[in-house]
Homo-oligomer: A and B are copies of this chain.
């Protein structure tokens, strides 16, 4: 089983990331890859956009795990017009206290790192 951690920290990288996951599932099958996506920085704003959420749900249904950094969600609310409330997130999006810690722990657990 291939294990991969996608790191997304800018909004404009979501499109490439979701395309990568789609291609990976086509190439090795949904059972062939353990996919984790960690979003931090400005990229967490995507978790409040219905169009992106729909694409994420499709990939989540196929087994991909999507994670948000709580520090980034808080910063987004305090520093921009956009605010994505943690409690309003869809159930298929997990929240961790600090995305950076997740990035390290996953790699220590054998996940390959990919920054699309």
Contacts and interface: CB of A to CB of B under 8 A. Distances in A.
Interface stretch (A48-56, A60-68, A84-92, A107-115): A107-115
A40 B24 CA distance: 13
A71 interface: yes
Given A101-B2, A104-B3, A115-B115, A16 B9 contact: yes
A70 to B, nearest CB: 10
Contacts of A101: 2, 24, 27-28
A101 B112 CA distance: 10
A93 to B, nearest CB: 19
A103 B112 contact: yes
A116 B9 CA distance: 7
A116 B42 CA distance: 12
A67 B63 CA distance: 28
Contact of A107 (B26, B113, B115): B113
B98 A23 contact: yes
B108 A112 contact: yes
